Amino acid sequence: MRWTPGGQSPDIEDRRGQAGGGGGFGVPGGLIALLLATFGRRMGLGGLLLLIGLSFLFRHYFEPQSVSPGQNVAPYGTANREAEGGTPSENREVQFISFVLDDAQNTWARLLPQIGVPYRHAKLVLFRDYTVSGCGTAQAATGPFYCPVDEKVYLDLGFFDELANRMGAPGEFGQAYVIAHELGHHVQKLLGIESKVRNLQQADPSMTNPLSVRLELQADCLAGVWGHSTEERNLIDQADVTAGLNAVAAVGDDRLQKMARGYVSPESFTHGTSEERADWFQRGLSSGDVGSCNTFAK
């Protein structure tokens, strides 16, 4: 991906140098909650212990359901400062994240007014291990997510290592996809889609997972819409597109469940299969049109 290293985005809130709290013996509760939601809640102590073990093997799950909007917490801090002890490679990564964040938000600031919706910038919070958000605790184990309550994306840089090394999806455009996907959720909030989906889920709990899948697939498509703009400006080539599609496929429900337990349960999907996610990302990438991202019409 072609980009020029620069400074840190004013929309980044850097908490990497802030000390966290916590206690107990460090079991990643956010991931356990996610696995419970994925595998089913009817299990004994042996099943729970198995999930705890799995949580240490697979410490990240893209966009968990364990962090939900509506839980009010005090702000952790708003200092936008360079993290203490950041390595040169990590600082370069922050510059890359800054570029993607600014470029994607500038794109949406241009596109949304064309359909009558003003765009307001989201913030991206960088943290190490864990912090707090408007949606509750944010842990490295929960992976990147967008909180609609405070309109912030939360990201521990360690997720990109997991994406490349454990999930087999290296490449900068794959990392860019992760950020663009989360901003896609911000766009959904601005369009009023996110709140409508949450209301429908509350009205009919049996539709919680199917509606979640459609919401996530739409965020993939919206990430592709931004990707289309980078392709138009020759910021990416076919190798980058391949890396992006690999990253999308790496976080499919079927692939993650297969990695975690050797089989899949489609009824527990919350994000869609690898094929579905790649397909919707490609639709946005090919069209560059928000109107092509209506996952709720199928």
What 3-state DSSP class applies to 145?
strand
Task: Give yes or no for a contact between 247 and 175, defined as CB atoms under 8 angstroms apart.
Answer: yes
pLDDT in tens, 24-46: 223 333 444 444 344 443 434 44
Mean pLDDT for the chain overall: 81
Encoded tokens for 184:
């896609």
Arithmetic mean of pLDDT, 207-219: 97
pLDDT in tens, 147-164: 999 999 999 988 988 888
The per-residue pLDDT for 160 is: 86
What string of DSSP letters covers 242-282?
Answer: HHHHHHHHHT-HHHHHHHHHSS--GGG-SS--HHHHHHHHH
With cut-offs at 50, 70 and 90, classify the pLDDT of residue 61.
Answer: very low
Arithmetic mean of pLDDT, 182-199: 97
pLDDT at residue 118 tops 50: yes
Claim: this prediction has a pTM higher than 0.85: no
Arithmetic mean of pLDDT, 262-275: 95
Higher pLDDT, 186 or 92: 186
Alpha-carbon span 104 to 283, nearest angstrom: 17
Task: Give yes or no for a contact between 141 and 62, defined as CB atoms under 8 angstroms apart.
Answer: no
pLDDT at residue 112 tops 70: yes
With cut-offs at 50, 70 and 90, classify the pLDDT of residue 22.
Answer: very low
pLDDT at residue 143 tops 70: yes
Higher pLDDT, 229 or 170: 229
pLDDT at residue 122 tops 50: yes
pLDDT at residue 256 tops 60: yes
pLDDT at residue 190 tops 50: yes
Torsion, Cα 98 100 104 109, to 10 degrees, reads: 30
Window from 60-64, 233-237, 269-273 with minimum mean pLDDT:
60-64
pLDDT at residue 181 tops 70: yes
Domain boundaries, the chain: 12-297
Q: Tell me the percentage of the chain whose pLDDT exceeds 70.
A: 77
| Bridge partners, residue 130, by sequence | 139
